[in-house]
Chains A and B, each alone.
Chain A
């Protein structure tokens, strides 16, 4: 029987690959200085000099999108890293040990879970102030509950498997059983939730920057640019269009990749 091609995986990884290349390019090369203002080319349209036009301060949009997608990806990666690492730790402990520890930690997680993660991040931001790194911390904390839930349920299921008993019998410590024996078995589930989490983080960062509490000017970020562009939607549509397009491509690429990975695991 011929295996059906996993188009989700192929297209998803292509798109994600392109976006990562785009971001890497932005780290080393932008056609103009993304923060250099030029009054003469204010809200300039698409031209050979400015491939995506210019914004309300005459800054080159292509340069800012290149730089901004890097910022957005960086924030998303940081957020997911915090959420995943802390989530794995909490999920592993609660799932593996159960008992009082599980009850206490999970009730705290439930309380956090009751708020939408963007609202939770808003609360943290109002406590610690805006800025790129604070956004990572705030969103990271807001992402912990969902990751711990996923990891916990996986550990609850895996800890009763016979291979865990045989690892115990070989004299492995609880720590070793959790992170060396069980954790790799949760990866199929964990990896697709990481991809989905990454997506949510991209959107959350864009949302927070759009609200003006995320990445602060003059730093470029895709959400920040959208927020700045909203007064010029009619006069300079490219200003909002291109950052928006990049967000869509990024999120779509990750979604397809996540879908493709979870099918590849079956």
Chain B
């Protein structure tokens, strides 16, 4: 469904051009969850933004192809891209505290994609918004619908973001470190929620994270990036059992482990 072929992203805002993504090849099939991991600055977020169509600046050069159902997103016009954004491809961000418009009610924001991409009337939009708000397991969706962002907690806001992203039943959901800004218990809930949504509505998820333990839980396939290069890609379990590259091995070794009996061992 999504196929990235030989993607290069180059910045031209300094004297020397800087390439942040080199020759990337990656594909996402319908209904699967693919993890994209790597440390900060490895180019994973840039890849995500390019797929989402948010990298449209004059001071950068992009070559290669990003094919979404056969259509090259790098070459299609702005208005064609806008038709896809929100209806076929949507994205959730790292920072739920600032991703919602502070002066608009939650209901209004969840309905935005419906207003732009469907012909639904007011009542139908409201019904659909309430439906997704309860789908993302928010208690009392009626109250959330009328609330302003500052009245909600970080976890609730991230749920709202997910609701707004899936309201038009997209085929691809890009999640750019959606759990990084949340505490651990909420992280687990959000990951379970993404899993549930993926199961229920067959939406493919491109899950970007530096947290390998989350990726292992969630993704069927994983791609590892380092310094703009794709280091390794494949089945998640295969990669975790037999990492082919030194960098992947180091990343896996860096996952903190809870060791049983560690307390006694340390108390010497």
Task: State A173–B102 Cα separation when bound (angstroms).
Answer: 19
Q: Is A50 at the interface (CB under 8 A from chain B)?
A: no
Contact B113 A170 (CB under 8 A): yes
- A174 closest partner in B (C-beta): B78
Chain B binder among A9-17, A158-166, A231-239: A158-166
Q: Which of B53, B54, B85, B102 contacts A163 (CB 8 A)?
A: B102
Contact B116 A166 (CB under 8 A): no
Q: Mark B109-128, 1 if CB is under 8 A from A, else 0.
A: 00011001100000000000
- B residues 68-95 in Cβ contact with A at 8 Å: 82-87, 89-91, 93, 95
Q: Which of B84, B104, B161 contacts A171 (CB 8 A)?
A: B84
- B99 closest partner in A (C-beta): A162
Q: Which of B84, B104, B113, B161 contacts A184 (CB 8 A)?
A: B104
Task: State A198–B116 Cα separation when bound (angstroms).
Answer: 37
Contact A163 B101 (CB under 8 A): yes
- B92 closest partner in A (C-beta): A166
Q: Is B163 at the interface (CB under 8 A from chain A)?
A: no
Q: Is B52 at the interface (CB under 8 A from chain A)?
A: yes
Main secondary structure of the interface of A (DSSP, over half): helix
Residues of A within 8 A of B86 (CB): 169-172
Contact B117 A171 (CB under 8 A): yes
Q: Mark A164-183, 1 if CB is under 8 A from B, else 0.
A: 01111111110010000100
Q: Is A187 at the interface (CB under 8 A from chain B)?
A: yes
Contact A169 B87 (CB under 8 A): no
Contact B82 A173 (CB under 8 A): yes
Contact B85 A169 (CB under 8 A): yes
Residues of B within 8 A of A176 (CB): 116
Most buried by B among A169, A176, A181, A184: A169
Min Cβ gap A180→B in Å is 9
Q: Is A185 at the interface (CB under 8 A from chain B)?
A: yes
Residues of B within 8 A of A171 (CB): 82-87, 113, 116-117
- B residues 107-148 in Cβ contact with A at 8 Å: 112-113, 116-117
Q: Is B201 at the interface (CB under 8 A from chain A)?
A: no
Task: State A184–B102 Cα separation when bound (angstroms).
Answer: 9
Min Cβ gap B13→A in Å is 13
Q: Which of A167, A169, A172, A187 contacts B103 (CB 8 A)?
A: A187
Contact A166 B82 (CB under 8 A): no
- B52 closest partner in A (C-beta): A169
Contact B112 A165 (CB under 8 A): no
Min Cβ gap B97→A in Å is 9
Residues of B within 8 A of A169 (CB): 52-54, 85-86, 89-91
Task: State A99–B59 Cα separation when bound (angstroms).
Answer: 12
Task: State A165–B96 Cα separation when bound (angstroms).
Answer: 12
- B58 closest partner in A (C-beta): A99
Task: State A163–B157 Cα separation when bound (angstroms).
Answer: 12
Q: Is B63 at the interface (CB under 8 A from chain A)?
A: no
Contact B99 A163 (CB under 8 A): yes
Contact B101 A185 (CB under 8 A): yes
Q: Known contacts A170-B113, A184-B104: does B85 contact A162 (CB below 8 Å)?
A: no
Q: Known contacts A161-B98, A169-B54, A169-B86: does B103 contact A184 (CB below 8 Å)?
A: yes
Residues of A within 8 A of B87 (CB): 171
Q: Known contacts A169-B86, A170-B113: does B95 contact A162 (CB below 8 Å)?
A: yes
Q: Is B100 at the interface (CB under 8 A from chain A)?
A: yes
The 7 closest A-B pairs by CB, nearest first: A170-B86, A171-B86, A171-B85, A162-B99, A163-B101, A170-B113, A162-B98
A residues bordering B, Cβ < 8 Å?
99, 161-163, 165-173, 176, 181, 184-185, 187
Instruction: Add 10 more A-B contacts to A170-B112, A171-B85, A173-B82 (CB < 8 A).
Output: A163-B98, A163-B102, A167-B101, A169-B91, A170-B86, A170-B113, A171-B84, A171-B86, A171-B87, A181-B104
B residues bordering A, Cβ < 8 Å?
52-54, 58, 82-87, 89-91, 93, 95, 98-104, 112-113, 116-117, 161, 164
Cβ contacts A to B, 14 pairs, < 8 Å = A161-B98, A162-B93, A163-B100, A165-B93, A170-B113, A171-B84, A171-B86, A172-B112, A173-B82, A181-B101, A184-B101, A184-B103, A184-B104, A185-B102
